[in-house]
Every structure is written in C-alpha cells, then in structure tokens.
Amino acid sequence: MSIHDVAPGSAAETARWCADADGFGIPVSLLVIPGPWRGSSLAERPDYASFLRERRAGGDEIMVHGWSHRAGPEGGWPRRALGRAVARGAAEFAALDIDEAAAKLRDATAVMAESGLSTTGFTPPGWLASPAAEQALRAAGFSHTTDHFGAKDLRTGRRHRGFALSHRPGGGWPERFGAAMLETMARHNTARGGLVRLALHPDDLHHPGLREATLRAIDTALQAGAHATTYADLVGSAVK
C-alpha cells in the first residue's frame, strides 16, 4: 500500500490514509514531494517532517516522489505527450535528460536530508521516468523505484511485477467502474499469489465511496492471506 503526494498541502488526507493502515496493522510506503506543491514545501514545515519521521520509526517507508510533481517543457514531444495523457501534467520525470534529472534529484535529496528523511526509494510522479532519469537515479544512489507495472531494484535490475491499482476520481461511471475494478483486481491478484499494489492519493478521499472501496480491497487481500510490506522490504533495501 502506497500513499502518494505526501506533502504539507495534503497533511490531512495523508493522516487519514495512515490511520486506516494502522487500523489494519499494515505498513505503507509514503511518497513524499519535497519541493513546493499546493502552497508550501517540506523545508518550510519542520513539524510535518517530524510527523513523517515518526511514521518511519513505526515501520513505514519514506520514498522521494519527484521534486515539485509538475512536468515542465523539457524533452521531446512524444514523451511529454505521453506524460500529459497518462499523468495529467504531473509526469515530472517522464522526459528529462540525465542532467535535468540529476539537478532535480539533488534538490530533492538535499531537502530530504535536511528534514531527517534521507531514503534510497524513488517513485516518479505519474509512475513515468525517462531512461536518462533512471540512470540519474542510479548515479544518485537510489536503490529502487516503481512504475505502473511493478517495482524495480536499481542495483540488480530485478523486477517485481504487479500493476498499480488506483482510483480515477472524476465522478460518474468511470469513477465507479475504477473503484469496482480496484476491488476485483485486488481479489484476483491475491488469489493468484501475485503482488497486490494499492496506490492511494489525497484526492481519493474527496469522492464518496472510494475510501470504502479501498478498505474493502485491503480487507479482502488480508483475509485471503496477503502479507503487507513496503517497497523497501520487497526489494530488500537496507533503508526504509
């Protein structure tokens, strides 16, 4: 279970999802945006960094989730177009060259270190990272990353396959269909002994029914014998 878009601007929603995870007694991977997002940055809120350190001390994983979670004008149009289509403008690392990615990673890791939240896990916004960005991750010392289709150990290249299940808030039948599919696929993957990945976002909590669908999916997986873990533990990283 991963909680995306963790930042001071989503503190209330993150706390709600964390409380739900605590109710099941399971750890989560917290995907932190260190740069400016929705009004403030991690560096401006030492109290929020303290909350995240407490979560890590309790067994959660901290991961870097880009820098500002916003795609810029960098890169060629095919990858930028893919990022817009898949991630609605949030695919910050989808089209970066190695120098651009390295610069963002330096800024991100500096803030994380100053906040007492150094980590070697990285999930790109929108689950999209260019090949050059992945090279920059390795060079910066990151041990693992994720995309839509699984988790990857950057040290060995080993992949742990499992599609990320998430909601698509927006109302109407697409939202309802997506929630039903999340429950169905969580049940199906558990029955097959596969990797069940539930990716939760702050905006999910603003749409009635999505939280309840998520809780049912978690309960179904656990009742069927699933073992909850973090990405760090999945790939065997020494740093949560």
Work out the percent of the chain whose per-residue pLDDT is above 70.
Answer: 91
68 and 155 in a single domain? The answer is yes
Please check whether residue 238 lies inside any domain of the structure: no
Q: Which of 112, 142, 161 is the last residue of a domain?
A: 161
Please check whether residue 152 lies inside any domain of the structure: yes
52 and 132 in a single domain? The answer is yes
How many structural domains are present in the chain?
2
Is residue 237 pLDDT above 80, yes or no? no
Q: Which residue segment(s) compose the domain that 35 sits in? A: 7-14+22-161
Is residue 84 pLDDT above 60, yes or no? no
Query: For position 124, what pLDDT does the model report?
Result: 97
Q: Which of 134, 161, 188 is the last residue of a domain?
A: 161
Is residue 78 pLDDT above 70, yes or no? no
Least confident of 29-38, 139-148, 168-177: 168-177
Please check whether residue 237 lies inside any domain of the structure: no
33 and 150 in a single domain? The answer is yes
Please check whether residue 2 lies inside any domain of the structure: no
Please check whether residue 240 lies inside any domain of the structure: no
127 and 192 in a single domain? The answer is no
Round the average pLDDT of the chain to a whole number and report it: 91
Mean pLDDT on 75-90? 56
Tell me the per-residue pLDDT of 178-193, one tens digit each, with 9 for 90 and over. 899 999 999 999 999 9
99 and 191 in a single domain? The answer is no
Q: Output the DSSP codes for the chain.
A: -EEEEESGGGHHHHHHHHHHHHHHT---EEEE--S-BTTB-GGG-HHHHHHHHHHHHTT-EEEE--SSS---S-S-HHHHHHHHHHHTT--TTSS--HHHHHHHHHHHHHHHHHTT---SEE--GGG---HHHHHHHHHTT--EEEETTEEEETTT--EEE-PEEE---SSHHHHHHHHHHHHHHHHHHHHTT---EEEE-GGGGGSTTHHHHHHHHHHHHHHTT-----HHHHHT-S--
Mean pLDDT on 86-105? 86
116 and 197 in a single domain? The answer is no
Please check whether residue 234 lies inside any domain of the structure: no
Query: For position 178, what pLDDT does the model report?
Result: 87
Please check whether residue 208 lies inside any domain of the structure: yes
173 and 156 in a single domain? The answer is no
68 and 175 in a single domain? The answer is no
197 and 81 in a single domain? The answer is no
Is residue 168 pLDDT above 90, yes or no? no
153 and 46 in a single domain? The answer is yes
146 and 195 in a single domain? The answer is no
Query: For position 146, what pLDDT does the model report?
Result: 98
Per-residue pLDDT band for 75 (boundaries 50, 70, 90) equals low
82 and 179 in a single domain? The answer is no
Is residue 147 pLDDT above 70, yes or no? yes
Mean pLDDT on 224-233? 95
pTM above 0.85, yes or no: yes
Query: For position 173, what pLDDT does the model report?
Result: 81
Q: Which of 123, 138, 161 is the last residue of a domain?
A: 161
Query: For position 172, what pLDDT does the model report?
Result: 83
